[in-house]
């Protein structure tokens, strides 16, 4: 895309000469000093003639004046800015100039007077008079104030009028000058506080072509509940944008700085997870999501039409990752989609989410794995706010939440200890029963009080509440070698030592009502010898939404899926 200054100046010159060509030359009539018969004029006649002449002169003078005024008027109307604004042709990669694009993130007052060229979205626009437009221009996290003011021979009134007509979210290319701002710019969403851009050229790269107005504006969508509530008693009450409206218009919603930050933090969780595990000699696998049988727990599996038969969507990589352990990969992980056909319409369930899974052969004791998990999460939770400090601050603006507290050593308590804590707190709970959501929250609160940690590993769950492939405790047959991790009192990880003995596995399957013949490949993996191993499955979106206090797991999913939502 080019809007070269030379071309613009040339066009401006052409405009002026065109205006000049409309200038009318007024003709003054020459009057002879004789009568029509050739005799000289009498004095009286001379007087009359002079009078007529004077009349005509005045007339001509008036005409000239009118013409000059007309010329001046027309000259003023010429759009000398025509080449400095407008829609660019559709970018089909017509040319590659290599021109440098500036970044709003780098704008500041010390660059006063510098020419800049950049692309941005119009976030807000206001036009206090016909001669001026104020825009805020956003590029991901960064937002700068810009002004376009009518100016003789530089910015035409047509340019200003056109700029004022651009709606928010229009994607524009901007040329202008950075100007230091004498006072800090107040707007909450503007991030460049000590400088603004004086626009000289403005072109549309991509316009808004929706049928009606956008359902909401991005600068409205970043307001915290508290801001919206506080505004209700003012003369400019803000509208609440509901979660469904946001999700129905997710592309727009994702443009908020909050969402840009949330998904960078989500990426950060995966990066740190990988970083830690790869240093610990894990490798990442890609296990199939299409399964031949409805396994693990039949009820909650999606069925797929598979050519002339059926397939089922994996509800976790559980079976495949254990088979990979039997195949001697030793330490494996996977980050990928998992599918749950559960008709759960809650703020913490989705039908598809990102499973973060690991599985590891151990030497002696599954606590080798449990300890690795505790260190892994301590690493993630301590590094994340450091590496993504800006993103955390941005999210907290909209979703205020206390910092997530994790000591160097993640506390580990047994299920029984958690039960005892609950009972001491007056909660009634039966033996060998799993916690309810409410009890889990209470455990989280009690742990927080006692250990100053928002994160806890709970070990030794009752065997009866765990899947068939969970290894029973060697002493107490009612208990298992299994664990959950809670974040702010909600489960984000579930794991265990697995049964690696085919005989015991068959027995456990029978007890769980699963036919061994339904899972031949899985059983065979253990019949050909398998090391003792343990692992865990983690819900990525749960980690993110609980850490950031987003209130609903859907806010941590790019395009969430639940029983009622398959779009966008």
- Enumerate the active-site residues: 340, 342, 348-349, 491, 494, 542
Mind giving me the DSSP string for 40-52? BPPHHHHHHHHHH
Closer to a copy of itself by Cβ: residue 223 or 460: 460
* Minimum distance from residue 105 beta carbon to a copy of itself (Å): 11
Q: Two tokens at 190?
A: 């503007």
* Minimum distance from residue 253 beta carbon to a copy of itself (Å): 8
Closer to a copy of itself by Cβ: residue 231 or 249: 249
* Minimum distance from residue 383 beta carbon to a copy of itself (Å): 15
Beta strand extents in 255-400 (DSSP E only): 283-284, 290-291, 303-306, 309-313, 331-339, 352-361
How are strands ordered across the β-sheet holding 283-284? 283-284, 331-339, 352-361, 533-539, 490-497, 482-487, 455-459, 412-414
Q: Two tokens at 125?
A: 């626009």
Mind giving me the DSSP string for 529-562? ----EEEEEEEHHHHHHHHTT-SSGGGGSSS-BB
Q: Two tokens at 85?
A: 């604004």
Decide if 167 contacts 101 (C-beta within 8 A): no
Torsion of CA 491, 288, 377, 382, to 10 degrees: -110
* Minimum distance from residue 528 beta carbon to a copy of itself (Å): 6
Closer to a copy of itself by Cβ: residue 406 or 525: 525
* Partners of residue 179 on adjacent β-strands: 196
* Minimum distance from residue 169 beta carbon to a copy of itself (Å): 5
* Minimum distance from residue 509 beta carbon to a copy of itself (Å): 15
Closer to a copy of itself by Cβ: residue 30 or 307: 307
* Minimum distance from residue 18 beta carbon to a copy of itself (Å): 29
Neighbours of 412 (CB within 10 A): 19
Closer to a copy of itself by Cβ: residue 44 or 97: 97
* Minimum distance from residue 155 beta carbon to a copy of itself (Å): 24
Closest listed residue to residue 5, CA positions, set 68, 81, 56: 81
* Minimum distance from residue 142 beta carbon to a copy of itself (Å): 11
Closer to a copy of itself by Cβ: residue 94 or 232: 94
Neighbours of 369 (CB within 10 A): 25
Closer to a copy of itself by Cβ: residue 337 or 400: 337
Closest listed residue to residue 526, CA positions, set 503, 554, 542: 503
- Please give the Cα distance from 100 to 107 (Å, whole number): 15
Closer to a copy of itself by Cβ: residue 122 or 195: 122
Mind giving me the DSSP string for 198-235? EEEEEEEEE----SSS-SS-TTTTT--HHHHHHHTTSS
* Partners of residue 355 on adjacent β-strands: 336, 539
Q: H-helix or E-strand containing 523? A: helix 520-527
Contacts 24+ apart (CB under 8 A), 523-529: 525/322, 525/323, 525/326, 525/327, 526/326, 526/499, 526/500, 526/501, 526/502, 527/502, 528/326, 529/326
- Please give the Cα distance from 242 to 244 (Å, whole number): 6
Closer to a copy of itself by Cβ: residue 29 or 307: 307
- Please give the Cα distance from 453 to 382 (Å, whole number): 12
* Minimum distance from residue 470 beta carbon to a copy of itself (Å): 11
- Please give the Cα distance from 356 to 458 (Å, whole number): 19
What three-state secondary structure class fits 142? strand
Closer to a copy of itself by Cβ: residue 119 or 318: 119
Q: Two tokens at 28?
A: 């003054």
Neighbours of 44 (CB within 10 A): 8
Closer to a copy of itself by Cβ: residue 193 or 527: 527
* Minimum distance from residue 530 beta carbon to a copy of itself (Å): 5
- Please give the Cα distance from 193 to 197 (Å, whole number): 12
């Amino acid at each position: 895309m080019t809007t070269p200054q030379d071309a613009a100046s040339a066009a401006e010159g052409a405009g002026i000469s065109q205006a000049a060509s409309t200038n009318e030359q007024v003709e003054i009539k020459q009057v002879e000093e004789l009568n029509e018969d050739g005799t000289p004029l009498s004095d009286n006649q001379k007087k009359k003639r002079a009078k007529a002449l004077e009349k005509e002169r005045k007339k001509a003078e008036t005409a000239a004046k009118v013409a000059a005024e007309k010329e001046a008027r027309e000259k003023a109307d010429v759009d000398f800015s025509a080449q400095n604004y407008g829609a660019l042709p559709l970018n089909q990669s017509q040319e590659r100039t290599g021109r440098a694009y500036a970044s709003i993130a780098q704008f500041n007052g010390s660059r006063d007077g510098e020419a800049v060229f950049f692309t941005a979205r119009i976030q807000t626009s206001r036009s206090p008079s016909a001669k001026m437009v104020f825009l805020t221009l956003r590029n991901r996290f960064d937002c700068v104030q810009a002004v376009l003011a009518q100016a003789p021979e530089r910015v035409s009134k047509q340019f200003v009028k056109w700029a004022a007509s651009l709606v928010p979210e229009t994607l524009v290319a901007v040329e202008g000058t950075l100007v230091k701002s004498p006072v800090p710019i107040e707007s909450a969403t503007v991030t460049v506080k000590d400088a603004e851009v004086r626009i000289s050229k403005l072109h549309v790269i991509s316009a808004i072509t929706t049928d009606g107005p956008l359902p909401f504006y991005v600068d409205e969508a970043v307001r915290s509940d508290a801001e919206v509530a506080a505004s209700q008693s003012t003369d400019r009450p803000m509208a609440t944008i509901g979660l469904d409206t946001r999700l129905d218009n997710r592309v727009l919603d994702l443009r908020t700085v909050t969402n840009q930050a949330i998904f960078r933090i989500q990426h950060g969780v995966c990066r740190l997870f990988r970083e830690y595990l790869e240093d610990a000699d894990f490798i990442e696998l890609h296990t199939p999501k299409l399964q031949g049988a409805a396994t693990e727990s039949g009820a909650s599996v999606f069925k797929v039409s598979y050519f002339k038969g059926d397939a089922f969507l994996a509800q976790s990589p559980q079976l495949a990752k254990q088979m990979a352990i039997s195949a001697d990969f030793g330490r494996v992980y996977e980050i990928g989609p998992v599918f749950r056909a559960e008709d759960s319409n809650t703020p913490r369930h989705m039908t598809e989410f990102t499973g973060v899974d690991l599985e590891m052969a151990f030497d002696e004791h599954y606590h080798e794995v449990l300890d690795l998990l505790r260190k892994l999460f301590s690493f993630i939770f301590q590094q994340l706010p450091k590496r993504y400090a800006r993103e955390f601050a941005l999210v907290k603006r909209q979703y205020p939440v206390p910092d997530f507290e994790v000591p160097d050593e993640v506390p580990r308590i047994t299920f029984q200890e958690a039960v005892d804590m609950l009972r001491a707190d007056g909660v009634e709970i039966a033996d060998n029963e799993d916690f309810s959501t409410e009890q889990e929250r209470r455990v989280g609160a009690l742990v927080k009080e006692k250990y100053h940690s928002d994160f806890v590993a709970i070990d030794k769950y009752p065997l009866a509440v765990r899947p068939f492939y969970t290894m029973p405790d060697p002493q107490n047959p009612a208990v298992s070698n299994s664990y959950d991790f809670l974040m702010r009192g909600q489960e984000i990880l579930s794991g265990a030592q697995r049964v690696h003995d085919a005989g015991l596995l068959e027995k456990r399957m029978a007890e769980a009502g699963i036919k061994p013949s339904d899972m031949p490949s899985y059983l065979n993996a253990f019949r050909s010898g398998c090391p003792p191993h343990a692992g865990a499955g983690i819900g990525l979106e749960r980690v993110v939404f609980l850490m950031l206090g987003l209130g609903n797991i859907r806010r941590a999913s790019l395009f969430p899926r639940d029983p009622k939502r398959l779009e966008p």
